[in-house]
């Protein structure tokens, strides 16, 4: 393939992807050991599909290189593992291979190694600001996030301010009281919204919180670094859990709420997102979702969760569509 033309954003913007290989026998032994040791086998926060990989990260990376070529580096944070992506990068974006940088948990947990090994995405995300050389504004991707249309730097940063996608909502006080006092501790789930409620509370919000959707998140490195320097106990309290815990906050949400306090963000109420969770859905669910993605010009982001739980035919339907969108087929 001929050399692609691209210009790195200035100031630079990096992307970060966290990844785990659920098929790694050695890591699975560690996982099973700590599940038994901490007696969390039946916890709603230890969902095995979180550790499964079905090749999503390859499409995640290719979509960034295709639709956001201004991204300087793509950091892949793993527990010493490497996804099988090099062949695809060499084939489609050979000049960007050096932009892919692997970061170990040991590097970002430097000084906090006592909390390793870790099987908790929220704890890992809390330490992403500690990646050596990471840009001031960086974008956090789950490995099941994909870009499906052209993205500009202004979609994530404008006039030195982060762009956050979502809306304000009242904190559900009665629901939280019920959850705290009437649901047994072992049954409490560290949900997507619970992490955001907790982030708002840590930042000082009491009556409302900013609701994210499942899109790539713009994060301010210095905002988190400065906050944790002043409040080291908050950092420790969020990384001390080996598995997800409902008392944890979402660190990307904390960055957003702190920046909101500083009036250092721009709110975009159009999330530009298509969210797919194809497991146990109707026959035409995937077809209808993909058709909407293709025909709606406002949809720029896609999140596809739990692909490891669906059959090969459904996975290939998603991947073949991504091949077409990315120009790989």
Total domains in the chain come to: 1
- 155: Cβ contacts below 8 Å, ≥ 6 apart: 163, 300
In three-state secondary structure terms, 101 is strand
CATH number for the domain that contains residue 81? 3.90.550
Q: Which pLDDT score is estimated for 22?
A: 62
- The verdict on residue 39 lying in a domain is yes
Q: What is the C-alpha separation between 106 and 63, in angstroms, rounded?
A: 28
- The verdict on residue 32 lying in a domain is yes
* 6 confidence band (pLDDT: 50, 70, 90): confident
Could you read off the pLDDT of 102-135 as tens digits, one per residue?
A: 999 999 999 999 999 999 999 999 999 999 999 9
- What is the b/e burial string over 58-95, where b = at least 16 CB atoms within 10 angstroms of the residue's CB? bbbbbbbbbbbbbbbbbbbbbbebebebeebbeebbee
Whole-structure pTM value? 0.92
- The verdict on residue 2 lying in a domain is no
Q: Which pLDDT score is estimated for 34?
A: 77
Retrieve residue 301's tokens: 């982001």
- The verdict on residue 46 lying in a domain is yes
pLDDT at 24 over 90: no
- The verdict on residue 235 lying in a domain is yes
Could you read off the pLDDT of 31-64 as tens digits, one per residue?
A: 787 778 788 777 766 655 555 556 899 999 999 9
23-27, 88-92, 166-170, 196-200, range with the lowest pLDDT: 23-27
Would you call 215 exposed, middle or buried from its count of C-beta atoms within 10 A (0-12, 13-18, 19+)? buried
- The verdict on residue 57 lying in a domain is yes
Cβ pair 248, 195 in contact under 8 A: yes
pLDDT at 250 over 60: yes
Quote the domain boundaries for residue 180.
13-326
What mean pLDDT do residues 161-183 have?
A: 87
- The verdict on residue 58 lying in a domain is yes
- The verdict on residue 29 lying in a domain is yes
């Amino acid at each position: 393939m001929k050399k692609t033309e691209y210009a790195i954003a200035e100031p630079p913007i990096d992307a970060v992807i966290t990844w785990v290989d659920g098929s790694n026998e050695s890591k699975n032994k560690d996982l099973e050991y700590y599940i038994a040791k901490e007696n969390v086998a039946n916890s709603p926060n230890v969902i095995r599909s979180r550790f499964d990989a079905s090749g999503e990260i390859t499409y995640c990376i290719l979509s960034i290189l295709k639709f956001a070529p201004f991204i300087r580096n793509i950091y892949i944070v793993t527990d010493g593992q490497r996804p099988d992506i090099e062949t695809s990068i060499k084939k489609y974006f050979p000049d960007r291979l050096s932009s892919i940088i692997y970061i170990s948990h040991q590097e970002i947990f430097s000084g906090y190694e006592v909390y390793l090994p870790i099987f908790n995405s929220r704890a890992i995300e809390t330490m992403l600001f500690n990646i050596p050389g990471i840009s001031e504004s960086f974008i956090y991707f789950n490995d099941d996030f994909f870009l499906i249309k052209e993205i500009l730097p202004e979609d994530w940063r404008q006039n030195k301010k982060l762009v956050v996608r979502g809306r304000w909502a009242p904190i559900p006080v009665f629901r939280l009281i019920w959850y705290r006092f009437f649901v047994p501790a072992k049954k409490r789930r560290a949900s997507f919204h619970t992490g955001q409620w907790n982030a708002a509370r840590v930042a000082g919000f009491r009556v409302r919180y900013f609701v994210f959707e499942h899109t790539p998140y713009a994060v301010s490195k210095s905002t988190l670094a400065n906050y944790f320097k002043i409040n080291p106990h908050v950092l420790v309290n969020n990384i001390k859990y080996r598995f997800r815990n409902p008392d944890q906050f979402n660190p990307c949400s904390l960055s957003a709420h702190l920046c909101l306090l500083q009036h250092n963000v721009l709110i975009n109420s159009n999330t530009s997102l298509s969210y797919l969770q194809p497991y146990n859905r109707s026959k035409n669910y995937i077809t209808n979702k993909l058709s909407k993605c293709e025909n709606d010009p406002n949809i720029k982001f896609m999140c596809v969760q739990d692909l490891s739980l669906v059959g090969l035919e459904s996975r290939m339907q998603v991947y073949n569509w991504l091949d077409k969108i990315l120009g790989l087929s």
